[in-house]
Amino acid sequence: MNPLRSTLSALPSDLSPWREIPAASARRPFDVFADAPSRFPGVDPEWSRLVRAKTDDGEHTFHVLDNGPALRARGITPTGTILAVHGNPTWSYLWRGVLAAAVERAEQSAAQGGQAWRVIAPDQLDMGYSDRLAHPEAPHAEAASYRRLEQRLGDLDGLMDALDVEVDKPLVTLGHDWGGIISLGWATRQNQAVDAVVSLNTAVDHPSGEPVPPALRAAMAPGLLPVSTVLTDGFLRVTLALAEGGLNETVRQAYRSPYVSRLGRGGIGGFVADIPALAQHASRTVLEEVSAGLRAWDKPALFIWGPKDPVFRDRYLADLLDRIPHADLHRFEGAGHLVAEDRNISEVLFTWLSDRFDDDAGRQSLTSPAPAAEVLGLHEQLDSMTLTWHKGAPAVVDMTTSETDRTLTWGELKDQVEALAVGLYELGVRPGHRVSLLVQPGNSLTVILYACLRLGAAAVVADAGLGLKGMTRAVRSARPDWVIGELPGLTVARTLGWPGQRISVDALSQKQVSWLGTVASVERLLRRHAGAALQNVPAPAPEAEAAVLFTSGSTGPAKGVIYTHERLGALVALLRRQFDVKPGASLIAGFAPFALLGPAIGATSVTPDMSVTKPATLTAQAVAEAALAGKATMFFGSPAALRNVVDTSGALSEEQSQALRRIRLVLSAGAPVHPDLLDAVQDLFPNAEIHTPYGMTEGLLQADITREQVHEAMSTAQPGVCVGRPVDGVHFRLAPLDELGRPAEDLLTAEEAPGVLSEIVVSAAHLKAAYDRLWYTDRQSRRDTADGLLWHRTGDIGHIDAEGRLWIQGRLQHVITTPAGPIGPGVVETPVDTLAEVSRSAAVGVGPEGTQAVVVIVEPVRSATRSASLSVGRSPLARPEFASAVRRAAGDAPVAAVLVVEELPTDIRHNSKIDRSRLASWAESVLAGEKASL
Q: Is the dihedral of CA 587, 592, 594, 596 positive or negative?
A: positive
User: pLDDT band at residue 464, thresholds of 50, 70 and 90?
Assistant: confident
Do 417 and 300 lie in one domain? The reply is no
For 621, residues 6+ apart whose C-beta sits below 8 A from its C-beta are: 648, 651, 652, 656
* Mean of pLDDT values over 115-127: 96
Sheet holding 689-691, edge to edge: 407-409, 394-398, 604-607, 586-590, 634-637, 665-668, 689-691
Backbone angles phi, psi at 803, to 5 degrees: -90, 5
Q: Cis omega (within 30 of 0) on the bond before 89?
A: yes
> Residue 499: which of 319, 368, 706, 684 has the closest Cα?
319
Do 336 and 428 lie in one domain? The reply is no
Has residue 40 been placed in a domain? yes
* Mean of pLDDT values over 814-837: 92
Task: Decide if pLDDT at 7 tops 70.
Answer: no
How many whole angstroms separate alpha carbon 95 and alpha carbon 296?
28
Do 416 and 312 lie in one domain? The reply is no
> Residue 256: which of 90, 375, 27 has the closest Cα?
90
Has residue 684 been placed in a domain? no
Do 303 and 419 lie in one domain? The reply is no
Q: What is the pLDDT of residues 186-198, one digit of tens each?
A: 999 999 999 999 9
* Mean of pLDDT values over 646-666: 94
Q: Is the dihedral of CA 156, 157, 160, 162 positive or negative?
A: negative
Has residue 672 been placed in a domain? no
Backbone angles phi, psi at 632, to 5 degrees: -75, 145
Query: At 116, which CATH number?
Result: 3.40.50.1820
How many whole angstroms separate alpha carbon 858 and alpha carbon 838?
7
- Which is more confident, 284 or 463? 284
Do 208 and 348 lie in one domain? The reply is yes
User: pLDDT band at residue 209, thresholds of 50, 70 and 90?
Assistant: low
Q: What is the pLDDT of residues 888-929, one digit of tens each?
A: 999 888 999 999 998 888 764 444 578 888 999 999 999 988
Task: Decide if pLDDT at 823 tops 60.
Answer: yes
Do 160 and 38 lie in one domain? The reply is yes
How many whole angstroms separate alpha carbon 788 and alpha carbon 761?
14
Has residue 706 been placed in a domain? no
Which of 540, 570, 590 is the last residue in one of the domains?
A: 540
**pLDDT at residue 12, as a whole number:** 36
**pLDDT at residue 286, as a whole number:** 94
Backbone angles phi, psi at 332, to 5 degrees: -95, 95
Do 321 and 436 lie in one domain? The reply is no
* Mean of pLDDT values over 386-398: 79
Do 36 and 105 lie in one domain? The reply is yes
Query: At 850, which CATH number?
Result: 3.30.300.30
Strand partners, 605: 396, 587
How many whole angstroms separate alpha carbon 667 and alpha carbon 705?
10
Do 457 and 313 lie in one domain? The reply is no
In what helix (H) or strand (E) does residue 809 lie, and over which residues does it extend? Answer: strand 806-811
For 160, residues 6+ apart whose C-beta sits below 8 A from its C-beta are: 83
**pLDDT at residue 116, as a whole number:** 93
Which of 540, 562, 588 is the last residue in one of the domains?
A: 540
Has residue 804 been placed in a domain? no
Task: Decide if pLDDT at 144 tops 70.
Answer: no
Q: What is the pLDDT of residues 64-83, one digit of tens each?
A: 999 999 999 999 999 999 99
**pLDDT at residue 621, as a whole number:** 94
Has residue 303 been placed in a domain? yes
* Mean of pLDDT values over 783-792: 79
Please give the full DSSP string across 18-47, using - where no structure is assigned: P-PBPPB----HHHH-TTHHHHSTT--GGG
CB 173 within 8 A of CB 184: yes
Angle of CA points 702, 668, 705, to nearest 5°: 50
451 three-class SS: helix
Has residue 401 been placed in a domain? no
Parallel, antiparallel or unpaired: strands 694-696 and 689-691? unpaired
* Percent of residues, the chain, with pLDDT higher than 70: 90
Do 300 and 422 lie in one domain? The reply is no
Task: Decide if pLDDT at 20 tops 80.
Answer: no
CB 715 within 8 A of CB 743: no
**DSSP label at 229?**
I
User: pLDDT band at residue 4, thresholds of 50, 70 and 90?
Assistant: very low
Please give the full DSSP string across 614-677, using - where no structure is assigned: -GGG--HHHHHHHHHHHT-SEEEE-HHHHHHHHHTGGG--HHHHHHHHT--EEEE-SS---HHH
**pLDDT at residue 596, as a whole number:** 76
* Mean of pLDDT values over 217-228: 74
> Residue 476: which of 458, 502, 495, 496 has the closest Cα?
496
How many whole angstroms separate alpha carbon 687 and alpha carbon 665?
8
Which of 509, 540, 571 is the last residue in one of the domains?
A: 540
Q: What is the pLDDT of residues 243-253, one digit of tens each?
A: 998 999 999 99
Do 35 and 161 lie in one domain? The reply is yes
CB 587 within 8 A of CB 636: yes
**DSSP label at 231?**
I
Do 156 and 74 lie in one domain? The reply is yes
Rounded alpha-carbon distances, angstroms, from residue 845 to 374, 739, 816, 899: 47, 14, 5, 13
For 181, residues 6+ apart whose C-beta sits below 8 A from its C-beta are: 149, 175, 202, 203, 204, 287, 290
Q: What is the pLDDT of residues 413-452, one digit of tens each?
A: 999 999 999 999 999 999 999 999 999 888 999 999 999 9
User: pLDDT band at residue 868, thresholds of 50, 70 and 90?
Assistant: low
| Average pLDDT for the chain | 88
**pLDDT at residue 361, as a whole number:** 37
Task: Decide if pLDDT at 17 tops 60.
Answer: no
Domain count, the chain: 3
Note down the domain range covering 829. 816-934
Query: At 448, which CATH number?
Result: 3.40.50.980
Has residue 701 been placed in a domain? no
Please give the full DSSP string across 241-264, using - where no structure is assigned: TTSTT---HHHHHHHHGGGSSGGG
Of 49-63, 599-613, 677-691, 891-905, the range with the lowest mean pLDDT is 599-613
Q: What is the pLDDT of residues 523-549, one digit of tens each?
A: 999 999 998 888 889 889 989 999 999
| Residue 886 identity (one-letter amino acid) | V
CB 457 within 8 A of CB 432: yes
> Residue 837: which of 898, 792, 769 has the closest Cα?
898
User: pLDDT band at residue 756, thresholds of 50, 70 and 90?
Assistant: very high
Rounded alpha-carbon distances, angstroms, from residue 532 to 369, 418, 421: 38, 7, 9
147 three-class SS: coil
